[in-house]
Amino acid sequence: MTLQQTLDTQIKTAVEKLYGAKLETVELQPTRKDFEGDITAVVFPMLRVVKGNPVQIGEAIGNYLVENVDEIEKFNVVQGFLNIVLSDSYYLNFFNSVEDFSSFGKVPQGKEALMVEYSSPNTNKPLHLGHVRNVLLGYSVSEIEKAAGKKVYKTQIINDRGIHICKSMLAWEKFGNGETPDTADLKGDKLVGNYYVKFDQEYKKEIETLKAKGKTEEDAKAQAPLILEAQEMLRKWEAGDEETVALWNKMNGWVYSGFEETYKSIGVDFDFYYYESDTYLLGKDIIEEGIKNDVFFMKDDGSVWCDLTEEGLDEKLVLRSDGTAVYMTQDLGTAVQRVKDHPDVGGMIYTVGNEQDYHFKVLFLILKKLGYSWAENLFHLSYGMVDLPSGKMKSREGTVVDADDLIAQMTATARDISEELGKIDDFSEDEKEALYRMIGLGALKYYILKVDPKKRILFNPEESVDFQGNTGPFIQYTYARIQSILRKAASTPFSDHSLTEIKMHPKEKELIKIIQQYPETIQLAAANYSPALIANYTYDLVKEFNSFYQNVPILATDNKTEKAFRVQLSAAVAEVIKSAFALLGIEVPERM
């Protein structure tokens, strides 16, 4: 039984014995920082069944708890709040009960699986800043769900077909002169992205030429030779034209190699890949089944719809009158296919920007109407845009912030700041570069993940690499500081001492209190699909450790038992920092 459960039971018993009344629930919360105490029982809700002065009621319950619960040392009552002070032995017993802080808070994997989709890029351009938030969120949520006991499949669906892909292909065919990633000394995704930009530049020239000849802008856009050729290329690809498919395979291959390099650089991975070229024909059989079961209806023109007006939405097209699929069709088909491929999947998380909120609301509703049990466990991990101080980004105009360039910039910023601090002069050049990269990536990931996914972010690279405040480098620096303490402690001769009887410093107690919250924080972050809860928990832990470090002598104390305990406590904090940062996909340095 946890302490909270014990308190719940004992407070209900106290109220029954003292007042002859039965409490349905007991409201417990952490004691506010400005009062003495560890856990607070709120008396006010009890007044529904217990008549009297809340302070006197709190006093009576407090006295009962001190007499009947070993872990309670004393209490105080402020208005209707009963602040309970736990004994040192309670915290010490908890601390000694944890065998391994590196796995502390993590739950063994269950049988039911969860599929998390993230990244899902187009194969006509490199990954950019928007993809970075998507990838970091999806990967982190996957790791958090795993820590909470879920079996997780990480996946993405690659958008490798459509007119936008043909634009890059056509521009390369017309203007590429056989250029390859090797001859251009360029990553494949960047090379293909350059031709997507090139298409847009040439297309705009053709539009202006046609407008000069008297065409309206709308007509010029529709009649420009390049767009007509791109549409023809798409028709050829859909018909399986050998030459077109060969070019498509070659250029997509370049892009996939580039993507993998970026994923490796960011430090994320996937278990399974889906390709839109395979899935775009899925879903039509589901539509037929849905018509039979009255989930869908057919209009006079032959188009098929789903009526969602009772759910407060509108009618949604699921199949065109000519029998061709819309995005909804293939998304229905892909969801069903994924469960066929992995029958243990009991739910899915889609990491997709908030511009698709309506689409996923409709998708999930239709899947529920179709009767799939797992449709109850679908979640759209919706997130806001990432802006830079310089403004918005546009792929086709080549103004997007490339993910690789961003990582390079973050590494360079970390290098400049680290060199100013000058604490790594004895590092080799390779060690320095590895550290700069770790700090730069840590800064980027933490800055993005500490914010609630739904909120829009203004990303400031310089601000993110600050070694003070709520930043990745500040937390990494604290971890490195603890490693320094542990290295010094290893060379300090003190024998093992019994740690069962120690008069704890309030700062030690506060640290253990925060460590205790880690398992609950993991479960809360998993339930809310929110890496921000892990990020901000880690910051709170680090702030508390730094306060402890500044106020309590660790290695400088003459008391060997105190020294041994404080070193062990510091080591535990380091393990929790490392564990929490791993859930965010962030590494921690041994020295900094």
Alpha carbon distance 202, 198 (integer Å):
6
* pLDDT (mean) for 408-424: 83
Angle at 215 between CA 210 and CA 218, to 5 degrees: 100
Supply the pLDDT for residue 324.
85
What are the pLDDT digits (tens) for 140-179? 999 999 999 999 999 999 999 999 999 999 999 999 999 9
Query: Which position has the higher pLDDT, 75 or 460?
Result: 75
Supply the pLDDT for residue 389.
73
Burial class (CB in 10 A: 0-12, 13-18, 19+), 361: middle
Q: Could you tell me the residue ranges of all domains in the chain?
A: 3-86, 162-272, 403-583
Alpha carbon distance 457, 98 (integer Å):
38
pLDDT at 500 over 70: no
* pLDDT (mean) for 439-447: 96
Query: Which position has the higher pLDDT, 123 or 496?
Result: 123
pLDDT at 23 over 80: yes
Highest mean pLDDT among 122-136, 140-154, 489-503: 140-154
Supply the pLDDT for residue 396.
46
- pLDDT range class, residue 416, cuts 50, 70, 90: confident
Residue 61: name the closest of 85, 89, 84 by CA.
Answer: 84
Angle at 427 between CA 425 and CA 428, to 5 degrees: 120
* pLDDT (mean) for 492-510: 74
* pLDDT (mean) for 293-298: 95
Q: Give the architecture-level CATH label for domain 3-86.
A: 2-Layer Sandwich (3.30)
Supply the pLDDT for residue 395.
42
What are the pLDDT digits (tens) for 464-481? 888 888 999 999 999 999
Supply the pLDDT for residue 196.
95
Which H or E run includes 347?
strand 345-353
Q: Residue 100 CB: number of other CB atoms within 10 A?
A: 8
Supply the pLDDT for residue 581.
98
Alpha carbon distance 534, 532 (integer Å):
5
Q: Rounded to 10 degrees, what is the CA torsion of 433, 435, 439, 441?
A: 60
* pLDDT (mean) for 519-536: 97
- CATH superfamily of the domain spanning 403-583: Isoleucyl-tRNA Synthetase; Domain 1 (1.10.730.10)
Model-level pTM? 0.91
Supply the pLDDT for residue 236.
96
Supply the pLDDT for residue 393.
42
Q: Residue 469 CB: number of other CB atoms within 10 A?
A: 10
What are the pLDDT digits (tens) for 220-237? 999 999 999 999 999 999
**In the chain, % of residues over pLDDT 70:** 96
**SS3 of 139-154:** HHHHHHHHHCCCEEEE
The mean predicted confidence, pLDDT, of the chain is 93
Sign of CA dihedral 196, 199, 205, 208: negative
pLDDT at 494 over 80: no
Supply the pLDDT for residue 397.
46
- pLDDT range class, residue 399, cuts 50, 70, 90: low
* pLDDT (mean) for 336-343: 96
Supply the pLDDT for residue 8.
95
Is residue 322 a contact partner of residue 329, using CB atoms and an 8 Å limit?
no
Highest mean pLDDT among 1-10, 119-128, 496-505, 529-538: 529-538
Which H or E run includes 91?
helix 88-97
What are the pLDDT digits (tens) for 243-258? 999 999 999 999 999 9
Is residue 464 a contact partner of residue 447, using CB atoms and an 8 Å limit?
yes
What are the pLDDT digits (tens) for 105-121? 999 999 989 999 999 99
DSSP 491: T
* pLDDT (mean) for 9-31: 95
pLDDT at 391 over 90: no
What are the pLDDT digits (tens) for 529-568? 999 999 999 999 999 999 999 999 999 999 888 999 999 9
Q: Do domains 3-86 and 403-583 have the same CATH topology?
A: no
Alpha carbon distance 536, 529 (integer Å):
14
